[in-house]
């Protein structure tokens, strides 16, 4: 009897381990709430290279004697895919063929190790001359390391008239002029027309200033309050009752009204309450986290949208489930509205052919708070060849901008290149009519950026993302206590 | 003091006499043979350890550069450390996980070892090899494999549960759920217990058979034999495993880094101390604060180890000591 028992246990264990070895494949767990594709450089938007075949990284070119070498570091944002590497190499080769004084050397580093590599290079005094494409988050990790371009812009009479002044202004920071516009990603409401049709609701406005027509015929302002009301009407349980109806079963929701697609808390707060500096004090030891009350209200709005009596936003588990496209719920076709950036067109192939763009809702005071993600190239302040590096920068932002923005899937900051970008988008999504919204939205730049500088940026940002995942995964969270804890932690992090 | 130093002569420890010329020559040869090791030890262990201690008193970021003068900040890093709830939370996370993982990490290999040591088990060599096999698989590969198996959407564990009739909504979300993430990690850890099992087996095989024979003559049953003979006799091995496991738990790092991408998700439940330490050094680039955390970890492990050794006299049985 005892012998048989031993044998049974042993066989069970061996079978378990053999099954373990065979099952599931090597696929990593579903991406987490804050992960989005590599388009742009949004915080928490880290390319999931581990789940993909390891790309081959091009070796840097050999330095040529008699030429000044300008090193171009790629890896802090997009630009590391094999195809992108080849496109960038061609651009570098074209530049090198065009003149005989400067050699542009492309250095592509895997995204996951790019921060460490750049840190080490800078620490050893061997930093690259030019870094990019890089967004606010990648740049903030190296705050204080970027060259103020003001003098070089003046010295070279660099023409900025092809850029929207709001975008040029976006790069004026405490560090000086730390960049010039290259690629922009304004935000908009993405919505599914067929879901609105099924619910008998009017579509979100296509122009700023237009009213929204409610089901009872009344016309109201298109603001976050209105969006919340219709998001609840668009949230449906398996019995086809919406969140505002009696008998709605919030445990059996089959369609949600809204999702803050690929957003972190500060992004959403920017949209709902407006851009703000998040700390006070001007030196270590005196910094203090100072988030506006409106931001706290925005976080609470998100939390209640998931866990309140009439939920209309998918929680973390739902958002990550296969039914909701494993973290990309709007693309899963079960979310009626999402607010996100223009780079989202990269990742929306499965959302069907009924989606459309609407204008951003206004806040309670009638003010539209937009948000613009942006990628550019930055110059390391330790560069030994600032003039030559600026020549390369001008080349990347000028003659190469169209090819580069195309390979990065980015909306060009140059007005003269916008038409070509829109034509590409229209070819890919012929059913979408309201592309102009993205152009108009460039006016609504968040200054300071929702990803703007705060001391110890990366750690502080990660702390807010931890708060986000807690909100998304905990229905019984003590919101005020956790919020206050985050604020206290931020103050400590700012002063580290 | 200088006089003492000038009078210093090599002595054989405990013997109180000076070295002879031959012995001195032999010592010089010995030192020359290990000199390379000493250089390596100084360069890669001792000097870095001292450097990290110095870092705790300065403000140093990786990007500051190696040629810039160090900025002395006194005890500021330690002050910040004591106010930093993230650090203490991460220590809490580590301890909380330890409460789950430690009993399993000790008991499961013990059970396996008992099973493998049983005379009733056929083909024990084959089973032994099979249970040890996972140890030779690179740990990162094993973690990826388990990550795939525990995938809430397409991992075979949830697929099997679904096939058994568990409702889709009730399926555990494993590493994406604050409730299930620690059990998931423990399950992954179980796969690699082959080493501990092997060590315990060697302990079990070292128990003198005459003790069992005597117990049998006295009419002791399985449980009495196990608690009165087996367990005390292998207690030094259990103590060894326990010490190593506790140290490893404090340094737990790779699984949350690989499986949950080092983000601390879900909801900060996987922000283990060592992960925060790693991120502080390399992601947040703060060499000085990271070094301060490293020293805190060293002190905590030291205290726990001392406590463990202090308690050992009450439950670890050393036959050689009892014979004295």
Q: How confident is the model at residue B268 (pLDDT cuts 50, 70, 90)?
A: confident
Cis peptide before A34 (omega within 30 of 0): no
Interface of B with A in 176-215 (CB under 8 A): 176-178, 191
Give A32-79 as a DSSP string.
PTT---SSS--TT----GGGSPPPPPPPPPPPPTTSEEEEEEE-SSS-
User: So what's the ipTM on this one?
Assistant: 0.72
Residues of chain B in contact with residue A33, where contact means CB-CB under 8 angstroms, are: 265
B178–A473 C-beta distance less than 8 A: yes
The residues spanned by each domain of chain A are: 49-184+375-441, 187-372+452-494
A326 vs B: CB within 8 A: yes
Residues paired with residue A341 on neighbouring β-strands, in sequence order: A187
Q: How far is A358 from A339, CA to CA, in rounded Å?
A: 9
pLDDT above 70 for B69 = yes
Element (H, E) at B287: helix B287-315
pLDDT above 80 for B130 = yes
Q: What is the DSSP letter of A129?
A: S
Cis peptide before A283 (omega within 30 of 0): no
Domains A49-184+375-441 and A187-372+452-494 belong to one CATH topology = yes
B148–A23 C-beta distance less than 8 A: yes
Q: How far is A336 from A255, CA to CA, in rounded Å?
A: 8
For chain B, counts of helices (H) and of strands (E): 17, 0
Which of B131, B148, B282 is nearest residue A24 as measured by Cβ atoms?
B148
pLDDT digits (tens, 9 = 90+) for A392-422: 999 999 999 999 998 888 899 999 999 999 9
Q: How confident is the model at residue A324 (pLDDT cuts 50, 70, 90)?
A: confident
Both structure tokens of A463: 């702390």
Select from A3, A11, A14, A20 the residue whose CB has the most chain B CBs within 10 Å, as the one to mutate to test that interface: A20
Q: Where are the beta strands (DSSP E) in A307-453?
A: 335-341, 355-358, 372-379, 411-412
Task: Pick one of 3.40.50.2000, 1.20.120.420, 3.40.190.10, 3.40.50.620 as the CATH number of A187-372+452-494.
Answer: 3.40.190.10
Which of B85, B130, B289 is nearest residue A485 as measured by Cβ atoms?
B85
The residues spanned by each domain of chain B are: 9-55, 76-322
pLDDT at A182: 93
Q: List Cβ neighbours of A218 (8 Å cut-off, separation of 6 or more).
A: none
Q: How far is A329 from A30, CA to CA, in rounded Å?
A: 13
Say if CB A352 and CB B211 are below 8 A apart.
no
Higher-scoring residue by pLDDT: A2, A403: A403
Distance from CA of A117 to the nearest CA of B (A): 10
Interface of B with A in 134-153 (CB under 8 A): 134, 141, 144-153
State the count of interchain CB pairs (< 8 A) between A and B. 181
B127–A46 C-beta distance less than 8 A: no
Interface of A with B in 266-295 (CB under 8 A): 284
pLDDT digits (tens, 9 = 90+) for B7-57: 545 555 555 578 888 888 999 999 999 999 999 999 999 999 999 999 999
Over residues B137-149, mean pLDDT: 85
pLDDT at B67: 64
B62 vs A: CB within 8 A: yes
Four-residue CA torsion sign, A19, A23, A28, A33: negative
A33–B150 C-beta distance less than 8 A: no
Both structure tokens of A399: 């003659």
Q: Any idea which residue has 């499986």 for tokens?
A: B259
Class of domain A49-184+375-441: alpha beta
A53 vs B: CB within 8 A: no
* Residues, chain B: 324
Nearest Cα residue in chain A from B65 = A123
Q: Which of A61-65, A103-107, B234-238 has the weakest average pLDDT?
A: A61-65
pLDDT at A14: 44
Over residues A369-391, mean pLDDT: 94
pLDDT above 50 for A363 = yes
Residues of chain B in contact with residue A469, where contact means CB-CB under 8 angstroms, are: 263-268
A120–B62 C-beta distance less than 8 A: yes
Class of domain B76-322: mainly alpha
Which of B63, B127, B152 is nearest residue A145 as measured by Cβ atoms?
B63
pLDDT digits (tens, 9 = 90+) for A99-158: 889 999 999 998 878 888 898 888 888 899 999 899 988 898 888 899 999 999 999 999
C-alpha A254: how far from its chain's center?
27
Nearest to A313 by CA among A370, A241, A228, A205: A228
Which of A298-307, A457-466, B76-85 shows the highest mean pLDDT?
A298-307
Distance from CA of A487 to the nearest CA of B (A): 11
Nearest Cα residue in chain B from A124 = B65
The SS3 assignment for A149 reads: coil
Distance from CA of A317 to the nearest CA of B (A): 7
B285–A21 C-beta distance less than 8 A: no
What does pTM read for this prediction? 0.79
């Amino acid at each position: 009897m005892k012998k048989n028992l031993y044998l049974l246990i042993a066989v069970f264990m061996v079978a378990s381990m053999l099954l373990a070895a065979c099952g599931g494949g090597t696929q990593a767990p579903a991406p987490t709430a804050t992960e989005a594709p590599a388009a742009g450089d949004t915080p928490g938007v880290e390319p999931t290279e581990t789940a993909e075949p390891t790309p081959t990284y091009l070796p840097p070119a050999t330095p040529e004697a008699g030429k000044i070498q300008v090193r171009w570091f790629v890896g802090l944002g997009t630009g590391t895919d094999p195809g992108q590497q080849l496109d960038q190499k061609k651009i570098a080769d074209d530049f090198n063929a065009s003149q005989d004084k400067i050699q542009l050397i492309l250095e592509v580093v895997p995204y996951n190790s790019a921060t460490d590599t750049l840190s080490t290079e800078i620490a050893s005094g061997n930093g690259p001359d030019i870094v990019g494409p890089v967004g606010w988050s990648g740049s903030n990790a190296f705050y204080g390391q970027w060259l103020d371009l003001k003098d070089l812009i003046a010295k070279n009479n660099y023409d900025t008239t092809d850029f929207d002044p709001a975008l040029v202004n976006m790069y004026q920071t405490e560090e000086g002029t730390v960049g010039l516009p290259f690629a922009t990603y304004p935000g908009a409401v993405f919505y599914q027309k067929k879901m609105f049709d099924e619910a008998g609701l009017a579509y979100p406005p296509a122009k700023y200033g237009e009213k929204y027509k409610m089901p009872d015929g009344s016309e109201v302002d298109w603001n976050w309050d209105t969006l919340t009301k219709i998001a609840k009407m668009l949230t449906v349980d398996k019995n086809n009752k919406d969140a505002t109806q009696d008998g709605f079963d919030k445990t059996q929701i089959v369609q949600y009204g809204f999702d803050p697609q690929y957003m972190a808390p500060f992004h959403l707060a920017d949209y709902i309450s407006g851009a703000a500096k998040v700390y006070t004090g001007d030196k270590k030891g005196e910094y203090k986290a100072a988030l506006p009350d409106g931001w706290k209200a925005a976080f609470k709005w998100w939390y209640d949208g998931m866990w309140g009596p009439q939920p209309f936003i998918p929680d973390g588990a739902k958002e990550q489930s296969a039914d909701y496209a494993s973290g990309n719920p709007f693309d899963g076709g079960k979310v009626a509205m999402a607010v996100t950036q223009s780079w989202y067109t990269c990742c929306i192939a499965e959302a069907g052919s009924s989606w459309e763009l609407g204008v951003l809702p206004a806040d309670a005071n009638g003010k539209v708070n937009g948000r613009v993600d942006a990628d550019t190239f930055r110059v390391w302040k330790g560069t030994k060849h600032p003039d030559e590096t600026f020549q390369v920068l001008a080349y990347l932002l000028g003659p190469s901008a169209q090819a580069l923005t195309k390979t990065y899937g980015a909306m060009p900051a140059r007005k003269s290149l916008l038409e070509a970008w829109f034509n590409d988008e229209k070819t890919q999504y012929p059913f979408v009519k309201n592309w102009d919204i993205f152009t108009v939205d460039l006016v609504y730049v968040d200054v300071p950026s929702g990803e703007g500088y705060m001391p110890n940026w990366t750690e502080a940002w990660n702390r807010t993302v931890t708060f986000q995942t807690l909100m998304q995964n905990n229905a019984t969270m003590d919101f005020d206590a956790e919020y206050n804890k985050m604020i206290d932690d931020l103050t400590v992090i700012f002063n580290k | 003091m200088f006089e003492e130093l000038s009078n210093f002569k090599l002595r054989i420890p405990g013997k109180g006499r000076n070295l002879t010329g031959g012995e001195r020559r032999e010592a010089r040869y010995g030192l020359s043979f290990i000199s390379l090791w000493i250089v390596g030890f100084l360069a890669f262990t001792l000097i870095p350890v001292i450097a990290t201690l110095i870092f705790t008193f300065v403000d140093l970021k990786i990007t500051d550069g190696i040629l810039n003068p160090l900025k002395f900040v006194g005890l500021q890093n330690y002050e910040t450390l004591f106010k930093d709830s993230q650090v203490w939370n991460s220590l809490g996370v580590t301890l909380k996980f330890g409460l789950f993982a430690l009993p399993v990490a000790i008991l499961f290999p013990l059970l396996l070892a008992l099973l493998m040591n049983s005379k009733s088990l056929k083909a024990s060599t084959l089973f032994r090899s099979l249970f040890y096999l996972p140890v030779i698989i690179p740990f990162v590969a094993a973690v990826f494999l388990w990550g795939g198996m525990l995938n809430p959407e397409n991992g075979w564990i949830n697929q099997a549960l679904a096939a058994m009739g568990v409702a889709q909504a009730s399926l555990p979300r494993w590493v994406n759920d604050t409730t299930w993430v620690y059990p998931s990690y423990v399950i992954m850890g179980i796969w690699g217990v082959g080493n501990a099992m092997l060590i315990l087996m060697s302990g079990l095989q070292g128990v003198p058979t005459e003790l069992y024979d005597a117990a049998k003559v006295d009419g002791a049953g399985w449980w009495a034999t196990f608690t009165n003979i087996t367990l005390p006799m292998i207690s030094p091995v259990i103590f060894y495993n326990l010490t190593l496991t506790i140290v490893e738990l404090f340094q737990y790092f790779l699984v949350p880094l690989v499986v949950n991408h080092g983000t601390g998700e879900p909801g900060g439940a996987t922000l283990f101390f060592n992960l925060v330490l790693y991120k502080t050094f390399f992601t947040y680039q703060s060499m000085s604060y990271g070094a301060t955390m490293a020293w805190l970890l060293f002190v905590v492990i030291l205290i726990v180890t001392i406590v463990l050794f202090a308690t050992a006299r009450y439950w670890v049985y050393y036959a050689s000591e009892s014979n004295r």
